[in-house]
Structure 1
Amino acid sequence: MRSAAMRDEPRVTDAEARRIAFAAFVGTALEWYDYFLYGTAASIVFNRLYFVSGDPVVATLAAFASFAVGFVARPIGAVIFGHVGDRRGRRASLIITVTMIGVVTALIGLLPDFAAIGVAAPILLTLLRVFQGIAVGGEWGGAVTLAVEHAPPERRGRYAALPQVGSPIGTLLSSGAFALVSLLPADAFDSWGWRLPFLAAIPLLFVALYLRRRIEESPLFTELLQQQERSSSPVVEVLRRSFGRVLVGLSASLLGVGGFYLLTTFAISYGTETLHLPRSLMLGATLVAAVVEIAILLAFGRLAERWGPGNVCVVGGVASALVAFPVFWLIDTKNPALVVLAITAGVACLSVPYAVAGSLLTELFPPQLRYSGVSIAFNLGGVVSGFVPFAATAVLAASGKQSWSVALLLVGLSVLTALGGAIGERLRIEDDVSAA
């Protein structure tokens, strides 16, 4: 799978690699902030103000279904922006994605609710979520590709992990914003308070655009351009030549995305709607977990350089499976300290495979197909992951609100991710041997 260009990639300095990785991280953090806002709002706002129903469970399922639609749209974005990134350049694609998601998020903040425009409200909200998903579908693959291709090969683990830190930063920003507006009186929160975090996307967009426009194009892509080694149809080639590797990348990505939404988006809904815990407690727990996740991502990104990213992925999958049931046992105690501990411990474990997803997936595909391959694999995993809160709500209802059913779902995601990591590491080693 590795081409001559991949065996002799242009080297850059550590200082340049850090600068590019940091810029990719900041842009990614702002995009995840926009994207995660929807997940939080689906748990505490959209189920009441947009998907109006006499049955709270039905309303929550409808809100989570609209949440999942964004994940279904992500492979479309992966195809579109993967093609742009592999044909026209990584930088150009990333500027488009950050602009698109910022504008769409602001429009959500301006959208009238069900009481104002009736059934048009949930329809338009879902449509905007689709556009959010398309934009994010092209974001992550481009960010990690750019970071990896600017990094010295022996330090790719740490630089590939830096864009991943954008996820917990996005969580901190989105959950923190909702925690602040949740302090408003209930009427004020429902009428205009919840909209403020979405409208903040506009000034954040200008920050992201400033940073993205300062990023240089990948030196590897520039070399491919000069040597005319670009693929005319990168998406078609990925699906024709590397579909097995797409499935491996999909599997390895499940826990870091799906498990995260299980312990944040679903857990917020479970804690507030089923256990009747304070909304501030559940949002606070996600904030604490996000802080711990930052340290986990940075630490295990570096360990991937020594152990191999696939092996680290296996460790994270096994650890997450082992803590799945204890996490929900602790949440069910309703003890605030134990609830925070449970969410934090669970997110810490599933963050281990997420830390190495960038370095693992980028090594599965050759440079001329890398943006497309990484984006398609990760976002197909995102399709499955996007339905995790919906599936968790459904199995919880089917089991008579017994949390063991949700814990079992988390175990399944953990096992699949560990399997993907093991196969991915074997493929990585085989590629290194064949490239030598």
Structure 2
Amino acid sequence: MADIKEVNTAVPRTRPRMVRTAVVVGTVLEHYDFFLYGTAAALVFNHQFFVSDSPVVASLAAFATFAVGFAARPVGAVLFGHLGDTLGRRRTLIMTLLLIGTATGLIGAIPNYGTIGVWAPILLVTLRLIQGLSFGGEWAGAVTLASEHAPQGREGRYASLPQLGSPIGNILSSGAFLAISHLPGEASASWGWRIPFLAAFPLLFVALWVRNLVDESPAFKTIEKSHDVRRIPALTVLRSAPGAMLAAAAIAFISIGGFFLVTTFAISYGTQTVGLSSGTMLIASMSAGALQIVTVVLTGRLADRARPPRIALVGCLLTIILAFPAVLALSSGVPVLAVLGVAVIVQPIAMTYAVTGVILPSLFSADVRYSGVALGYNIAGLVGGFVPMVATALAPGSGSQAWPIAALLIVIAAISAGGVWAARTRTSHNQGASA
């Protein structure tokens, strides 16, 4: 099979430019939808869909539904990874976008517990499962499409583009909740929270239009022409590349578990435990997202000059060093320090996240790349999705002290560093080989 870099040199330069817009717009919507749910789980769902006399129990239930989406992601990885490696990257990415956009919009239309009783959380969990299934194939497809379209020597720049969906989606979702927080009286908690979810429908139409303009990746076209399409790509990965899959999962763990610890959980911890306002925590999240855009862009460019695994290790190490200072700043109760702590700790995580889109596709051959990346990334998502719930359970047991949260972040960063170290011998020189 031809090496992916050899294929890319023959790609017209106009085609990657179209891909850049499509992968960013699509992943922005996907992350907007996913972060929107996380923010609502921290601020709204514990009141609207779960009835309990204990705020901690209600928050645990809300974060449990948040984790359900991650539990569905490995199933989505197998399903959409199979489609991506057999039908094509482009068509599969249109499917994932359609599913998550529709599910998110419908969440905004669900009556609450007081209106329809137990059916409210059941419908919420069902739509959350659909979100998780579709997200299970979205990110992997986006980084695969971007890396396979990238001109030679610019793989880092192009494969980091889907990671922009995370900070932009985070800013949009946090900004939407910040805007509705200014509604009078109880309007924000009673019906205003629905507006950001319903806004997913018009955003979906725009994203679908842009993504429909993208051509199929040259690597997949080569596979089709050579009739080298795998019958069951996921099974091939499990049999032939289990080490690469587990390394991919470990590398991605900090980008999911670590990120949601310092964003989704931080919003809940800052408002309910520390006593900061929701506005302060949303500003912290938006500030972190704005800086993350810069970090991802610069790191992507750096990855074309320096080795991506080395950059990922630096990101993990900085996360370990900054974990305690950042969490202490958040728990201080001082708004400026809390915003600064969240904004700073997100950046080394973003460094690793930026090059994850380069490292993971390089671990798998083109014929199983979509499936391999999707499985690895979403195994990390399966575990990482429970991190806010674990952190919520740990906080009361420590007297709401900050050290368990920082320790949890350090463990996550260490696991990702171990994954990067294990992946060093599995990368790009074997990209074109069959798995």
Q: Same fold (TM over 0.5)?
A: yes
What is the one-letter code of the residue matched to 1:428? T
Query: How far has the Cα of 1:7 moved from its partner?
Result: 6.5
In structure 2, C-alpha distance between the alignment counterparts of 1:347 and 1:30, rounded to whole Å:
20
SS for the counterpart of 1:153 is: coil
SS for the counterpart of 1:368 is: coil
Q: Are 2:319 and 1:308 equivalent residues in the alignment?
A: no
> What are the residue-to-residue correspondences of 1:386-425 with 2, within 5 Å?
386-425=385-424
- Residue number among 7, 10, 18 corresponding to 1:9 in the alignment: 7
Task: Give CA-to-partner distance per residue, 1:375-412, whole Å, 9 cap, x none.
Answer: 11001101111001001111112212111001000000
Task: Give CA-to-partner distance per residue, 1:207-250, whole Å, 9 cap, x none.
Answer: 01101111111111111101111111101101111111010000
In structure 1, C-alpha distance between the alignment counterparts of 2:392 and 2:384, rounded to whole Å:
14
Structure 1 residues 160 and 123, CA gap change in structure 2 (3 angstroms): same
Query: How far has the Cα of 1:432 moved from its partner?
Result: 7.5
What is the one-letter code of the residue matched to 1:284? I
Task: Give CA-to-partner distance per residue, 1:337-359, whole Å, 9 cap, x none.
Answer: 11111001000111111000111
Deviates more, 1:126-135 or 1:422-431: 422-431
What is the one-letter code of the residue matched to 1:48? H
SS for the counterpart of 1:305 is: coil
Deviates more, 1:16-25 or 1:222-231: 16-25
In structure 1, C-alpha distance between the alignment counterparts of 2:103 and 2:387, rounded to whole Å:
24
Counterpart residue number, 2:126: 127
Q: Are 2:291 and 1:288 equivalent residues in the alignment?
A: no
> What are the residue-to-residue correspondences of 1:3-402 with 2, within 5 Å?
3-6=1-4, 8-11=6-9, 12-402=11-401
Task: Supply the RMSD in Å over aligned alpha carbons.
Answer: 1.5
CA contact (8 A) 2:18 2:213 kept: no
CA contact (8 A) 2:267 2:282 kept: yes
Query: How far has the Cα of 1:31 moved from its partner?
Result: 1.3
CA contact (8 A) 2:163 2:296 kept: yes
Query: How far has the Cα of 1:298 moved from its partner?
Result: 0.9
Task: Give CA-to-partner distance per residue, 1:280-318, whole Å, 9 cap, x none.
Answer: 000000000000000111111122222211111111000
TM-score (norm 1): 0.97
In structure 1, C-alpha distance between the alignment counterparts of 2:152 and 2:408, rounded to whole Å:
36
CA contact (8 A) 1:25 1:165 kept: yes
SS for the counterpart of 2:368 is: helix
Structure 1 residues 206 and 434, CA gap change in structure 2 (3 angstroms): closer
TM-score (norm 2): 0.97
What is the one-letter code of the residue matched to 1:357? T
CA contact (8 A) 2:3 2:433 kept: no
What is the one-letter code of the residue matched to 1:301? G
In structure 2, C-alpha distance between the alignment counterparts of 1:128 and 1:432, rounded to whole Å:
37
CA contact (8 A) 1:18 1:159 kept: no
Q: Aligned residue pairs: how many?
A: 433
Task: Give CA-to-partner distance per residue, 1:55-107, whole Å, 9 cap, x none.
Answer: 00000001001000000000111111110010000011011111111110111
CA contact (8 A) 1:309 1:421 kept: no
CA contact (8 A) 1:5 1:224 kept: no
In structure 2, C-alpha distance between the alignment counterparts of 1:433 and 1:147, rounded to whole Å:
16
What is the one-letter code of the residue matched to 1:264? T
In structure 1, C-alpha distance between the alignment counterparts of 2:261 and 2:433, rounded to whole Å:
39
In structure 2, C-alpha distance between the alignment counterparts of 1:320 and 1:365, rounded to whole Å:
27
Query: How far has the Cα of 1:13 moved from its partner?
Result: 3.9
In structure 1, C-alpha distance between the alignment counterparts of 2:344 and 2:152, rounded to whole Å:
32
Structure 1 residues 308 and 13, CA gap change in structure 2 (3 angstroms): farther
Query: How far has the Cα of 1:434 moved from its partner?
Result: 8.9
Structure 1 residues 434 and 142, CA gap change in structure 2 (3 angstroms): closer
Query: How far has the Cα of 1:10 moved from its partner?
Result: 4.1
CA contact (8 A) 2:68 2:129 kept: yes
Question: What stretches of structure 2 of length at least 5 have no aligned partner?
Answer: none
In structure 2, C-alpha distance between the alignment counterparts of 1:58 and 1:270, rounded to whole Å:
14
In structure 2, C-alpha distance between the alignment counterparts of 1:282 and 1:100, rounded to whole Å:
30
Structure 1 residues 35 and 7, CA gap change in structure 2 (3 angstroms): closer
In structure 2, C-alpha distance between the alignment counterparts of 1:7 and 1:206, rounded to whole Å:
33
CA contact (8 A) 1:43 1:60 kept: yes
CA contact (8 A) 2:326 2:344 kept: yes
Query: How far has the Cα of 1:424 moved from its partner?
Result: 1.7
SS for the counterpart of 2:394 is: helix
What is the one-letter code of the residue matched to 1:349? P
Identity fraction in percent: 48
What is the one-letter code of the residue matched to 1:371? Y
CA contact (8 A) 1:301 1:355 kept: yes
CA contact (8 A) 1:309 1:425 kept: no
Deviates more, 1:307-316 or 1:367-376: 307-316
What is the one-letter code of the residue matched to 1:329? L
